[in-house]
């Protein structure tokens, strides 16, 4: 029984690195270490793992789909916007009405608008505020849905911002 368990465990250890190399990074996994050190076999992977562990880039990379962790992050940009809008709803409504603010700039960045377009993004939300926020019962999801529509119809922002871009495509 013990021998069978040891055999299964050894087989797992031997097969695991093969799947890691198939993913485009070494046994240390994705993260900053895989970018700096690469996927070479051998003791270099110790340094890659140390780099990943000390920088925290592996966890972030797996979540966001960056740092050589592919484009299969756990959160997509649409979901990130939903969470952000829910957590910052009151501030966003106020800043949309004013046409400027830190939360509004962050939301523009979540649509991957260039920083040079943040002012135009704010001006559009101020101009279209009554169409984006239709009442006191407007939910964050409804707000984002209307904002998506307004952005897709905007002459400049529809070209410079990536409304439908998702990390899980």
pLDDT at 26 over 80: no
Return the pLDDT at 34. Answer: 60
Specify whether the CB–CB gap between 103 and 95 falls below 8 A.
yes
41: helix, strand or coil: coil
* Chain segment 108-155, per-residue pLDDT in tens: 988 889 999 999 999 999 999 999 998 888 899 999 999 999 998 999
pLDDT at 67 over 70: no
Mean pLDDT of the chain, nearest integer: 74
Cα 56 to Cα 164: distance, rounded to the nearest angstrom: 28
Q: Which residue has the tokens 């009442």?
A: 135
Kindly report which listed range (22-36, 80-94, 122-136) carries the lowest average pLDDT score: 22-36
Q: For residue 82, give the nearest of 60, 55, 111, 58 by alpha carbon.
A: 111
What is the average per-residue pLDDT within 31-43?
64
Whole-Å CA distances, 145 to 2, 3, 124, 133? 58, 58, 15, 11
- Residue-wise over 24-58: b if at least 16 C-beta within 10 A, else e? ebbbbbbbbbbbebebeeeebbeebbebbbebebb
For residue 37, name the pLDDT band (cuts at 50, 70, 90). Answer: low
Contacting residues for 136 by C-beta, under 8 A, at least 6 apart: none
Question: What pTM does this model have?
Answer: 0.55
Q: Where would I find the beta strands (DSSP E) of 31-168?
A: none
Q: Where are the domains of the chain?
A: 2-64, 77-160
Return the pLDDT at 110. Answer: 87
């Amino acid at each position: 029984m013990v021998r069978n368990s040891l055999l299964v465990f050894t087989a797992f250890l031997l097969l695991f690195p093969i799947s890691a190399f198939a993913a485009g990074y070494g046994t240390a996994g994705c993260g900053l270490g895989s970018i700096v050190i690469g996927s070479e076999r051998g003791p270099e992977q110790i340094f890659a793992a140390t780099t990943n562990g000390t920088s925290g880039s592996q966890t972030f990379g797996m979540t966001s789909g960056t740092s050589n962790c592919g484009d299969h992050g756990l959160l997509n940009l649409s979901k990130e916007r939903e969470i952000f809008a829910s957590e910052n709803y009151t501030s966003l409504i106020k800043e949309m009405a004013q046409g400027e603010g830190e939360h509004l700039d962050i939301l523009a960045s979540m649509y991957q608008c260039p920083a040079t377009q943040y002012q135009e993004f704010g001006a559009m939300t101020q101009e279209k505020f009554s169409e984006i926020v239709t009442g006191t019962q407007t939910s964050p999801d409804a707000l984002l849905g209307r904002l998506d529509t307004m952005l897709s119809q905007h002459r400049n922002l529809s070209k410079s911002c990536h409304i439908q871009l998702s990390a899980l495509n």
